[in-house]
Each structure stands twice: as C-alpha cells, then as structure tokens.
Amino acid sequence: MKRALITGITGQDGSYLAEFLLSKGYKVFGLRRRTSTPNYENVQQVKDKITWISGDLTDLASLIEAVRISDPDEVYNLAAQSFVAASWPQPLATGHLTAISVTNMLEAVRIVKPSARFYQASSSEMFGKVVETPQRETTPFYPRSPYGVAKVYGHWITVNYRESFNMFACSGILFNHESPRRGLEFVTRKVSDGVARIKLGLKHELRMGNLEALRDWGFAGDYVKAMWLMLQQEEPDDYVISTGETHSVRELLEVAFSYVGLDYQQYVVIDPEFVRPAEVDLLLGDCSKAKEKLGWKLDVGFKQLIEMMVDEDLKRVRAENNAFLLVN
C-alpha cells in the first residue's frame, strides 16, 4: 500500500486529492494545524479514513516528525496562504507560509526520507504581468503580488532541491481551479454564492472588483489528477496545468446569473475595496506538455463548472435558510 502525506488537506485541492488517492488504495496522512475552530467541511466524507498528524508549516520540527510518522512514498505540499488579495495586507505572513515553508517541507523530506517523491503547488500567479501568451513552462515569471513573489520562491527552491540533492521534486504550475469547495472569498465562489442568495431573495446586490481580468479557469477535481500523474513519471519535471481557454470576470458573471434567469447588470456594484493594488490582467495556459507526457486531460469545461457551482450553492443556501427558518 502506497503512503502519501498531504499538507493543506482540508483545503479545496487537498480534499479532492485525498479522495482521489484513497480511491487508488493509498494510505493518506494529513497534516493539520491546531486552530480554535477546526474546519473539516471539505473532507467530511473521508475524515475518518485519513490519518491525522499535528503540525505547522512554519515549525520544521513538526514537519520532520510528520515525515517520520507517515514514512511517505509521496508528499503533496498544498498548504499556503493562497488568497492573493490578502497578500498585500499580510506580505510577511504570506512570505513565511507560501515561500519559506516550502523549504521547511523540502528539508523535512531531505532529512528523513529523501527518496520520497515531492509535489509543490506552484501557480500561474508567477506569470503575473505576462511576458508571453499563452504561458508555458518556459515562460519567464513576472509576479504582481506578494503571493506571486512567494510562489516564485517556492517554485525555484523545489527545482533547486531536485538539482542539488537529486530529489524527485516536481512543480505543478496550476492555473486557477475552482469547485463547490472553493473558499467564499475567491471570485468564482463569491459569484456562485452571491447568485444563489440573490435568486433566493436573501441578497440584493453583489459588490465586485475588476470585471475585465481574464483567467483560465478549470475544475479542481481534474487538476489533482495531474498532481498525482506528475509523481508517477520516470523523471521529475514541472508542468503547466490549464484549460487553454480564457474568460473575463464579466463573462463569469454573465454565465452564473443567466443560468438562474437573471441579468448580472442589475445586481453587480463595483466596489474599490475589491480592486487590487496591482492586477494580473490575463492568464491563458498552454498545457500541451502535460497532455503529451502525462496523458492528462480535463473533463469539466468553464460553463459546466460555473453551473455546477451555482447548483451546489443553491442547494446549500436553501438548506441553511430552511434550517434557520425552522429554529426561528
């Protein structure tokens, strides 16, 4: 039985990856940080199948212990401060969690089990103010936020450990990937949740930032399979994972509102609070290397993804509201 250690396991990607690895017969270990209000919502179906290890990304001793206890064949480093907008007000915390912690994880693996295969969650945010379109593995980075800068560090330290210590370390340069498990602050989920609340009469407007930003949005459930495929190859390497399509935030609004028979223009209000100090205007990934070498393919397209998210939020908001009406 193969053994995998996942950091960030209670997040969107971690939960899909845990389910995928469990379905493949893996023994799955999840690193969890102590919080006063633990949130297992994303992993509720598989919580009891995961072996939980207490640890913190910023505490190297706890990571060494996590690698020792799990004795993993594969390590997936998904934990980070992942919300770009929060990286301006918290640049140092983002640097510790999203950049330096990657070295902590790599060090823990190098010291305890250097033969383990390592996956680093790199990001299309590294391309930032893009110098070429579409973006591919060889496109130079030009990050536009403290988050993007931190991810560039994480990316290069992973490459460096591969080259310095001959470790099987891979970076997946994943473009935006979404799902009903996405955090409510990210734009797709903010819109699907907002549409559900407006449709159900619980909300009357949706306050948004820059509607012209273009993103390459895929389904997280498809993207975690690419992570696994990267670690099954003969040689470690880095891969872009994307859909090869780009859509604006405005198109996202159109698709989501029109799906429930509404016109977004009647509800959306532009609020400077959601406009970023520096923007990534356009992302469009070329994932031909992943398709060719990994045999990776995607199943869920943009419209289907947004409609799935709206459907799930309608269900959830309806249920929450019914429960509220019952007790009041």
Q: Interface residues with ligand F7E (CB under 6 A)?
A: 82, 84-85, 123-125, 175-176, 185-187, 190, 208-210, 213, 215, 249, 274, 276, 279-280
Q: Closer CB to ligand F7E, residue 97 or residue 317? A: 97
For tokens 């070295």, the residue is 103
185 is catalytic: no
Q: Closer CB to ligand F7E, residue 156 or residue 274? A: 274
Q: Closer CB to ligand F7E, residue 67 or residue 216? A: 216
Closest CA to 75 of 150, 147, 8, 19: 8
Q: Closer CB to ligand F7E, residue 70 or residue 176? A: 176
Q: How far is the CB of 274 from ligand F7E (least distance, A)?
A: 4
DSSP 285: B
Q: How far is the CB of 323 from ligand F7E (least distance, A)?
A: 27
Q: How far is the CB of 250 from ligand F7E (least distance, A)?
A: 9
Strands (E), the chain: 3-7, 27-32, 51-54, 74-77, 117-123, 169-174, 177-178, 206-208, 214-215, 218-219, 239-241, 247-248, 268-270
- Given the DSSP bridges, would you call strands 206-208 and 239-241 parallel, antiparallel or unpaired? unpaired
* String of DSSP letters for 24-70: TT-EEEEEE---SS---GGGTTTGGGSEEEE--TT-HHHHHHHHHHH
Single out the catalytic residue among 19, 74, 125, 178.
125
122 is catalytic: no
Q: How far is the CB of 178 from ligand F7E (least distance, A)?
A: 8
Single out the catalytic residue among 70, 82, 87, 123.
123
Q: How far is the CB of 121 from ligand F7E (least distance, A)?
A: 8
DSSP, collapsed to helix, strand or coil, labels residue 226 as: helix
Q: How far is the CB of 127 from ligand F7E (least distance, A)?
A: 9
Q: Closer CB to ligand F7E, residue 2 or residue 204? A: 204
CB atoms closer than 10 angstroms to residue 227 = 26
Closest CA to 214 of 193, 242, 184: 242
147 is catalytic: yes
Characterize 239-257 residue by residue with b for buried, 16 or more Cβ atoms within 10 angstroms of its Cβ, and e for exposed.
Answer: bbbbbbebbebbbbbbbbb
Closest CA to 278 of 176, 187, 184, 142: 142
DSSP, collapsed to helix, strand or coil, labels residue 227 as: helix
Single out the catalytic residue among 76, 147, 161, 264.
147
Q: How far is the CB of 151 from ligand F7E (least distance, A)?
A: 7
Calpha distance 151→30 (Å, rounded): 22
Strands (E), 126-283: 169-174, 177-178, 206-208, 214-215, 218-219, 239-241, 247-248, 268-270
Q: Closer CB to ligand F7E, residue 60 or residue 99? A: 99
Scanning 236-281, the segments in alpha helix (DSSP H) are: 249-259
DSSP, collapsed to helix, strand or coil, labels residue 303 as: helix
Q: Closer CB to ligand F7E, residue 74 or residue 178? A: 178
Residues annotated as catalytic (active site), given as ranges? 123, 125, 147
